[in-house]
Amino acid sequence: MLPEKQPGEYIRKLGEERRQSAILRYALAVGVLIGTVLLFSILSISSLGVLLSLGGLVGSYYLYRNGQHLMKRAGDAQRGTKAETEVAALLRPLERQGWQVEYNLRIRRWGDADVVLHSPKGNWYVVDVKSHGGTKVYESDRLRKRYGRNTYDFKEGDLIEKVKGQAKEVRRLKGARWVTALLCFTKGNVDIPGNDADGVYVVTAADLVSTLLQLDR
């Protein structure tokens, strides 16, 4: 029997891989820079030396920038891990009431489902956990985040379509008649009538358990 997956396990591993890759890029950037300086000291008077030195500087800068990008992605993964752990703590009372909770279920195309729940009444739910700030709104058939008077799209694309895809795949894997999809944000607020965005329930972490219990009536 496979060991039970822990909250945030998948994204935690992903963050560690990104961090290690970033450190490797930084080390390579330093190595290329040192090699470029040594090469320039030897071939500085030749056009070949200048050309190779410029190439080395460009390569070193590229590696450094790539390392920065990976380190930022590692930070994103760390925040995602924290968010999933917070949600897991909120769901423990449901587990004590007989709900079955599964974390980081691997599915086709959509990577993994953060949380899959099966209630004692036989209902299935999938929860995609996010840590974005701002106030979430549903405008022009699209979930967006609002800061003051400005509204922005999510860089990850259409979050509603993503969690719907997860629900369909969980339905297939579990042989369920229906899987209700929820988006749970650990930061910011939600300003959506009925918290319903085209059939997907968008909630804050504080409202997750009460929403699940209400849907399960």
74-97, pLDDT tens digit by residue?
A: 656 666 666 778 888 999 999 999
195: region left, alpha or beta (phi > 0 left; psi from -120 to 50 alpha): left
- Distance in angstroms (rounded) separating the CA atoms of residues 154 and 79: 16
pTM score: 0.70
Q: What is the dihedral of CA 79, 80, 81, 84, to 10 degrees?
A: 120
Read off the pLDDT of each residue in 52-71 and give the average, rounded to a whole number.
78
215 phi and psi, to 5 degrees? Answer: -70, -25
